[in-house]
């Protein structure tokens, strides 16, 4: 399974479990194991480079159970479609976790023109308020 150009997860590291999907159904609802649980042991995976593994474990800490990431798919009626959906979702989660951090924002000072516009606006507003107070004869 290709996650990024540098990260490819071999199928041998993925574990699939099948069970009955919930919700309404027809004749095959009690016999078809169409729900798919796809598990990937991220912590013990030899295919993930160490620099990526540390970043991914940190970002996915809330979703991991003992270093294992599990994705469940049951939106389709067919097991094959659910398997494809689970693999695609797993790849998307791993891709997002492996993405480099965004660049740090450097604070800048406001420009001279923006300061002048802000002060001019404040003076206009003060003049409007000053004009409201007055004696009403």
* pLDDT > 90? residue 79: no
Residue 113 lies in a domain: no
- What is the spatial distance between Cα 59 and Cα 120, in angstroms, rounded to a whole number? 46
Residue 130 lies in a domain: no
State the pLDDT at residue 133: 86
* Structural domain count of the chain: 1
What are the distances in angstroms from CA 66 to CA 2, 40, 48, 61?
Answer: 24, 11, 17, 10
CATH number, position 71: 3.30.160.20
Looking at residues 76-96, what average pLDDT do you find? 91
Residue 38 lies in a domain: yes
| Domain range for 33 | 2-98
State the pLDDT at residue 29: 61
Residue 105 lies in a domain: no
Residue 115 lies in a domain: no
Looking at residues 70-89, what average pLDDT do you find? 91
Residue 29 lies in a domain: yes
* pLDDT > 70? residue 115: yes
């Amino acid at each position: 399974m290709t996650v990024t150009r540098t990260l490819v997860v071999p199928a041998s590291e993925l574990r699939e479990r099948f069970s009955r999907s919930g919700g309404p159904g027809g004749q095959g609802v009690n016999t078809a194991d169409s729900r798919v649980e796809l598990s990937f042991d991220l912590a013990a995976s030899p295919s993930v480079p160490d620099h990526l593994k540390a970043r991914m474990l940190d970002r996915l800490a809330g979703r991991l159970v003992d270093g294992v990431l599990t994705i469940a798919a049951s939106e389709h009626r067919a097991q094959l479609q659910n398997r494809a959906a689970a693999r695609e979702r797993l790849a998307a989660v791993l891709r997002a976790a492996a993405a480099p951090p965004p660049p740090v924002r450097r604070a800048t000072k406001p420009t001279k023109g923006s300061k002048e516009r802000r002060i001019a606006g404040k003076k206009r507003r003060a003049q409007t308020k000053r004009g409201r107070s007055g004696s009403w004869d």
